[in-house]
Chains A and B, each alone.
Chain A
């Protein structure tokens, strides 16, 4: 449907090819490049209609009424009608989400906090988004069509492109893309299927998850010449809010303690000689 077609605009790499009235998501974030001043107003009106009554109560007439504009004006801005408006809604909301994420991640000082803040912000905004809430509740197929299987690949690519630059401070661009995609998967999974035990709208839960499952998987943190990982944020300080990766040892009885550098799995370097307090069975 049209919304899906328009949503592709944020992942297609040739913004120049598009109609000058509909530029890239970056532009849609602020609306500054938009030709018509009514554009954002119409998009916000459509969002309000969706939040109240879903797609069935979001006709051009509904939108025009909500926006306080005439049908003619609406069609002047969006010649493609309802489908085009819905596409612009997706673009705009993603742009707004990315802008908020950018602000939150840009403010963080260490990698763990960047990831935790990003994940928390994304899950929170998606979870509380009025239009999404309505649609998920009453028209799940509408939303899921954009989240499942191949549609998800596009979404992952878009999010990766946005998030990766925030990570290159700590790792090479290729790994930044990998980690950005990973973080996006986490956001999608916990948004679509919330967990009773882990509430990612809570920053502490987000930090715990990132510290436990994500940071250890980041190659850039495994400095081969050092015995401890670098820049792990709150968990490296051992502030008691969760397991500290620097002190991880095998918990199964009978296994030798693992030097912090060796605790990073599948490191092909030979074992360090300085094993800490031996834990012999």
Chain B
């Protein structure tokens, strides 16, 4: 059973998808949600500004929820990162509402995203930490700092791929192994047989 707040946010998102951030009003959201304006204001006393801010963070959290779903089955640190980067990159490229907002009204979105990026980064770091610890750190490398560094880099690559083709599994593997994990961990994930070979490629795993 979807609670009222979620219902309003979902409706607001539908409006944003249709009309963009600047044009979506409290009235639009209320109508879409089948609720009164008064109800919407009750949940969002800050009015339109609060509603817009919250719908951005709402979709941001949903994005990372989808990302989590995608990677949580991964066995190794390398697989988590490779799969995560590829999926996140694809999701951003294919996110129609995001792309449209970035094209037409980035100033409505970027300040909120930037503020939220600290929280997002912490979330990614917290997610990676157990994988890091399980894998084994290079000596003298603080796991918390390493997780923070990785989270920063992951966010950087998925939002701006630069010279990298993040749809190419080979390139993503190379990226993860050198620029992300090289200084953080030592060698591939330990295996039960004590072998030290390079872990299986991402495409081998599925």
List chain A positions with a Cβ less than 8 A from chain B.
Answer: 140-142, 144-145, 148-150, 152-153, 156-157, 160, 177-178, 181-182, 185-186, 188-190, 192-193, 195, 197-198, 209, 212-219, 242-245, 247-252, 255-256, 258, 262-266, 268, 271
Contacts and interface: CB of A to CB of B under 8 A. Distances in A.
Given A182-B179, A268-B198, A148 B185 contact: no
B181 interface: yes
A212 B181 CA distance: 11
10 closest A-B pairs by beta carbon, nearest first, are A243-B140, A217-B182, A141-B107, A152-B160, A252-B136, A216-B183, A144-B110, A213-B183, A217-B178, A216-B182
User: Interface SS of chain A: helix, strand, loop or mixed?
Assistant: helix
Given A152-B160, A271-B196, A252 B187 contact: no
B36 interface: no
B137 A213 contact: no
Nearest to B78: A266
B139 to A, nearest CB: 5
B87 interface: no
24 contacts: A144-B107, A145-B110, A152-B160, A152-B162, A153-B162, A156-B160, A157-B162, A181-B162, A189-B153, A190-B152, A192-B114, A193-B121, A193-B152, A198-B145, A213-B149, A218-B178, A243-B138, A249-B186, A250-B136, A251-B139, A255-B136, A265-B186, A266-B178, A271-B196
A150 B177 contact: no
Contacts of A156: 160, 162-163
Interface string B147-185: 011001101110111110000000000000111111111
B104 interface: no
A248 B140 contact: yes
Interface of B: 92, 102, 106-107, 110-111, 113-114, 117-118, 121, 136-141, 145-146, 148-149, 152-153, 155-157, 159-163, 177-188, 190, 194, 196, 198
A217 B136 contact: no
A214 B183 contact: yes
Given A243-B140, A250-B186, A152 B159 contact: yes
Contact of B186 (A152, A192, A248): A248
A265 B114 contact: no
A248 B153 contact: no
Contacts of B155: 189
Contacts of B194: 256
B114 A140 contact: yes
Given A193-B152, A243-B141, A150 B102 contact: yes
Contacts of A185: 153, 156-157, 162
Given A216-B183, A248-B138, A251-B137, A188 B156 contact: yes
Contacts of A243: 138-141
B156 to A, nearest CB: 4
